[in-house]
């Protein structure tokens, strides 16, 4: 069945490219969902169990960091583990620091280096698989 993935970015091109360019099946991914803002992401997260989130920071309405804080609060209450990776064009330290404070497993800058993204995804999947065995 695998782990479900949610890609959140207000740029539809980014969501589509990540959904199509990564061999999710080889990583034992069940389904890959796409959302273009935090509201759409919340709806998906309330209906589906998602183990991995790839999220942009700057989106209309609510930032990706605020969305991940909401995810973390839900995980704290439910005990469900979700790995979160930031994909953004913002290299500013205060964004990186906030991402680390809320427990993001990595922070990648756009344009995406797919070699690095594959390494980050493999680490996140290893961590999720370890946690499900415990």
Residue position matching structure tokens 């989130």: 53
Residue 75 confidence (pLDDT) above 90: no
pTM (global) more than 0.85:
yes
Residue 100 confidence (pLDDT) above 70: yes
- Split at pLDDT 50, 70, 90, the class of 1 is low
Burial of 107 (0-12, 13-18, 19+ CB in 10 A): buried
Residue 86 confidence (pLDDT) above 80: yes
User: Facing residues of 54 across strands?
Assistant: 7, 85
User: What was the pLDDT predicted at 76?
Assistant: 61
52 compared with 77, residue with greater pLDDT: 52
Q: Average pLDDT over the chain, rounded to whole?
A: 93
């Amino acid at each position: 069945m695998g782990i479900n993935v949610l890609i959140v970015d207000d740029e539809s091109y980014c969501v589509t490219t990540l959904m199509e360019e990564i061999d999710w099946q080889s990583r034992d991914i069940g389904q890959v969902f796409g959302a273009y803002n935090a509201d759409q992401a919340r709806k998906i997260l309330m209906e589906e169990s998602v183990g991995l989130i790839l999220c942009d920071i700057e989106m209309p309405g609510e930032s990706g960091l605020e969305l991940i804080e909401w995810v973390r609060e839900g995980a704290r209450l439910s005990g469900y583990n979700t790995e979160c990776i930031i994909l953004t064009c913002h290299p500013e330290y205060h964004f990186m620091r906030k991402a680390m404070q809320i427990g993001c497993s990595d922070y990648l800058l756009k344009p995406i280096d797919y070699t690095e993204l594959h390494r980050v995804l493999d680490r996140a999947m290893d961590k999720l698989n370890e946690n499900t065995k415990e």
